[in-house]
Amino acid sequence: MTKDDQILEEATSGEYKYGFTSNIEQEIAAAGLSEELVRFISAKKNEPEWLLAYRLKAFEIWQKMEEPSWAHVNYPKIDFQAISYYAAPKDRKKLNSLDEADPELLRTYEKLGIPIEEQKILAGVAVDFVMDSESVFTSFKKQLAEVGIIFMSISEAVQEYPELVKQYLGTVVPPRDNFYAALNSAVFSDGSFVYIPKGVRCPMELSTYFRINAENTGQFERTLIVAEEGSYVSYLEGCTAPQRDENQLHAAIVELIAMDNAEIKYSTVQNWYPGDKEGKGGIFNFVTKRGLCQGIRSKISWTQVETGSAVTWKYPSCILKGDYSIGEFYSVAVTNNYQQADTGTKMIHIGKNTRSRIVSKGISAGHSENSYRGLVQINKTAENAYNYSQCDSMLMGETCGAHTFPYLEIKNKTAKVEHEATTSKIGEDQLFYCNQRGLGDEEAVHLIVNGFCKEVFKELPMEFAVEAQKLLEISLEGSVG
Amino acid sequence: MLKITNLHASIDDKEILKSFNIEVKPGEIHAIMGPNGTGKSTLANVITGRDSYDISEGSIIFKGEEILELSPDERARLGIFLAFQYPVEIPGVSTTNFMKAAINERRKHQGLDPMKAAEFLKLMKEKMALVEIDQKFMSRSLNEGFSGGEKKRNEIFQMAMLEPSLAILDETDSGLDIDALKIVSKGVNQLRNKDNAFIVITHYQRLLDYIVPDFVHVMYDGRIVKSGNKDLAKELEARGYDWIKEELGV
């Protein structure tokens, strides 16, 4: 193991030391999840021996781990025995027409401006696979193939490009990284694999949207993106469909690897079911997302808009290993009713002259709790590292909470670190000012909130930004007045 | 246009307006003067419908309609505009976007489609010239980092954009230097016509040299105690408010 690898290892495996302590006594029921099940999943997918071994090892690690409890969230103990790991999650009843779908769901689709054909797919109406989208999909694949880009489900990739997957899987988020990462590594269902060859600039935004129709990825999604030297890709993870699943656990892993002079831009709009107004139901979203800036002058940029899920626990991070590499994190997290979010980022500076930038906007309404948790770690080797962090919170009403937990670990004196934080309330005076110009309360709140989030929205691809704004409006509906 | 009769308003059980009466007709400019704490700003807030006030008695008729039960945005859309004494900052929202939202919200309620981008830009240009405001302010966050004078000019710009029937200027002259005062006044004078009306709340006669009122009212202890023409303002400037208190026997 080289010295660099050792540092990397420390950086990736040791991160929960930093204030993220675990003290829960957890009895894990092994019954729902067993070695047989892991073997079953692997066999179903016809996986090679090395991947089965990888899963089994992860399972072994997971069994020895404890569920983390350091996040500022409360939720009932998850019964891992009660979770279906392979078949059940997407077992939705097929409907004959949209008339049979939940009217509230349709209302949401309408507000989001989702075309009627897509509404049908999202709501689970049995449709013949729309010739149109089939052809869009095909021409899209062709275009990518011409420049040598691989974009397919990770299960397919395991079959078609086993060496590539084997080379990179688990190198940024190893199974032992954390409880949910181990769980995912053992039972991951499917996800995306993207490979951008040397010097290729991906000609379009890659979106899960193009995949969602083809297959259901299930609750343990796994994404791996590799950008070779001098390449560029922008990847959109969209969850436009507010899924109605009850209290379901989603534990995904996303790994990004950027070689010399490569750039990866990863954008997420997450609006999974947040539970009802009393806080019943909703998704538990426990995700490990991490990017490795492996090469010199590489860049990884995370942009996320989180409006859904009952509980969110997620820290898209960057390991800045290459000299002059850059990590960015732009986040809007909105919580309403009884939602809880504990989200932020980790910027691990290893290479010289590495730079990172964090812009986090938290909006809390109702009885929700919204926490920013971020770690900036400047290692000894990281000469002249620079970080800028800005964490702004906005409160709507008297019963919600906003919290900021910034952690700094600086082991090199040449580092420059700047941190700014603000907490504001949507003031009666701001509302009245907007009212006086003819805007109703809802419109006024949208305007003020969108202004508050502008720095993050402008990082999103155009059509995504519009969608994000609409989502914000929907999730904050009825939170004033 | 506006008729306020026997209006009583209080905040936290303290009565601020005590049987306030005024009538404003189209084409008129009314100046309201008076010492601090006599209820001038409360009057502006109550007409525009700011919460936090209890109205125990009286009525406010605007364009023939009782507006006391209407929300602030409904009143605004009827054509009441307040140029704020302390304009509020809205980070991340540019003046351009703010005005676009305000104009289109109004159009929506009139059953009209949003204004076309080209038409909107033309309107912006025209009104910016009127108050001599620089293009660069339009893309900056509303009032954020604006100087006092810039904020006030921005208020007049918004007024020009929205073309209200009744505009209330709440101490728009405070904090303005003489050049800014002239520009603001010029804007008001150009917007003035036979169909709209202005209520100008001020401490100083100075503003009224530029915006010449048809009526000057002196407010004291929650009501109008003396009314006159523009000469009354000059007299107040020369003699202060004490002689009025003496006349009232307080």
Give DSSP secondary structure letters for A140-182.
HHHHHHHTT-EEEEHHHHHHH-HHHHHHHTTSSS-GGG-HHHH
Smallest Cβ–Cβ distance between B91 and the set A432, A439, A451 belongs to A451
Tell me which architecture the domain covering B27-43+70-248 has in CATH.
3-Layer(aba) Sandwich (3.40)
Question: Mean pLDDT, to the nearest integer, of A125-140?
Answer: 44
pLDDT digits (tens, 9 = 90+) for A176-200: 999 999 999 998 888 889 999 999 9
Q: Residue B224 and residue A177: Cα distance in Å, rounded?
A: 74
Q: pLDDT tens for residues B40-60?
A: 999 999 999 998 889 999 999
Domain-located, residue A462: no
> What is the structure's pLDDT at A246?
53
In a domain, A461, yes or no: no
CB contact under 8 A, A436 and B51: no
The neighbour count for residue A210, using CB atoms within 10 Å, is: 19
pLDDT for the residue numbered B178: 87
Higher-confidence residue: A272 or A407? A407
Average pLDDT over residues A148-163: 90
Main-chain dihedrals φ then ψ at residue B183, nearest 5 degrees: -65, -45
Mean pLDDT of B166-194: 89
Q: What mean pLDDT is predicted for residues B6-30?
A: 94
Tens of pLDDT, residues A359-370: 999 888 888 888
pLDDT per residue as tens digits for the range A302-339: 999 888 777 888 899 999 999 999 999 999 988 888 88
Amino acid B195: pLDDT: 95
Question: What is the DSSP annotation of A361-404?
Answer: EEEE-TT-EEEEEEEEEE-TT-TT-EEEEEEEEEE-SSS-EEEE
- Show residues of chain A in contact with B82, CB under 8 Å: 436
Contacts of B101 in chain A (CB under 8 A): 437, 439, 443, 447
Chain-chain contact of B105 with A447 (C-beta, under 8 angstroms): no
For residue A256, what are its two tokens?
A: 């990004």
Put simply, whether A447 touches B (Cβ < 8 Å) is yes
Residue A447 located in a structural domain: no
Q: Which residues of B are less than 8 Å from A436 in CB distance?
A: 48, 72-73, 76, 81-82, 84
Q: What is the mean pLDDT of chain B?
A: 91
Chain A: closest CA distance from residue B230 (Å): 29
Quick check: is A475 in a domain?
A: no
Report chain A's mean pLDDT, rounded to a whole number. Answer: 79
Position A479 in a domain: no
Amino acid A130: pLDDT? 33
Is residue A446 assigned to a domain?
no
Confidence of residue A35 (pLDDT cuts 50, 70, 90): confident
Of A429, A436, A439, the CB nearest to B101: A439
Kindly determine whether residue B105 and residue A439, on different chains, have CB atoms separated by under 8 Å. Answer: yes
Rounded to 10 degrees, the C-alpha dihedral B67/B68/B73/B76 comes to 50
- pLDDT at position A86: 58
Query: Domain tally for chain A?
Result: 1
pLDDT beyond 80 at A133: no
- Residue A151: give the domain boundaries: 3-431
Cβ separation A433–B97 shorter than 8 A? no
- Per-residue confidence (pLDDT) for residue A102, from 0 to 100: 63
Asked if A206 and A194 touch (Cβ cutoff 8 Å), the reply is yes
List alpha helices for chain B, DSSP H.
40-48, 72-78, 95-109, 117-130, 135-139, 148-162, 178-191, 230-239, 242-248
**Does A460 map to a domain?**
no
Q: Which of B52, B88, B102 sits opposite A439 (nearest CB)?
A: B102
Most confident of A32-46, A67-81, A266-280: A32-46
Contact with chain B for residue A443, Cβ under 8 A: yes
What pLDDT, on the 0 to 100 scale, is given for residue A214? 34
Residues of B near A (Cβ–Cβ under 8 Å) read: 48-52, 71-73, 76-77, 81-82, 84, 87-88, 90-93, 97-98, 101-102, 105-106, 109, 141, 158, 162
Of the ranges A108-117, A465-474, B14-23, B123-132, which one carries the lowest mean pLDDT score?
A108-117
| pLDDT for B118 | 92
Quick one: which of A252, A233, A236 has its CA closest to A299? A233
Q: Which of A433, A444, A455 sits opposite B84 (nearest CB)?
A: A433
Which residues does residue A424 pair with via DSSP β-bridges, in sequence order? Answer: A394
Instruction: Give the pLDDT confidence score for residue A416 in this predicted structure.
Output: 94
pLDDT at A152 over 90: no
Q: Which of A433, A445, A469, A472 to mutate to test the interface with B (most CBs of B within 10 A)?
A: A433
Residue A266 in domain: yes
Nearest CA in chain B to A457: B92
Q: Render pLDDT for B115-129 as a digit per residue (tens, 0 to 9).
A: 999 999 999 999 999
**Which pLDDT does position B128 carry in this prediction?**
92
CA A109 to CA B168: how far, in whole Å? Answer: 43
Residue A15 has pLDDT above 80, yes or no: no
Distance CA B32, CA B217 (A): 5
Using only the alpha carbons of chain B, give its radius of gyration. Answer: 18
Domain ranges (residues) in chain B: 27-43+70-248
pLDDT band at residue B177 under the 50/70/90 scheme:
confident
Subunit contact A438:B71, Cβ cutoff 8 A:
no
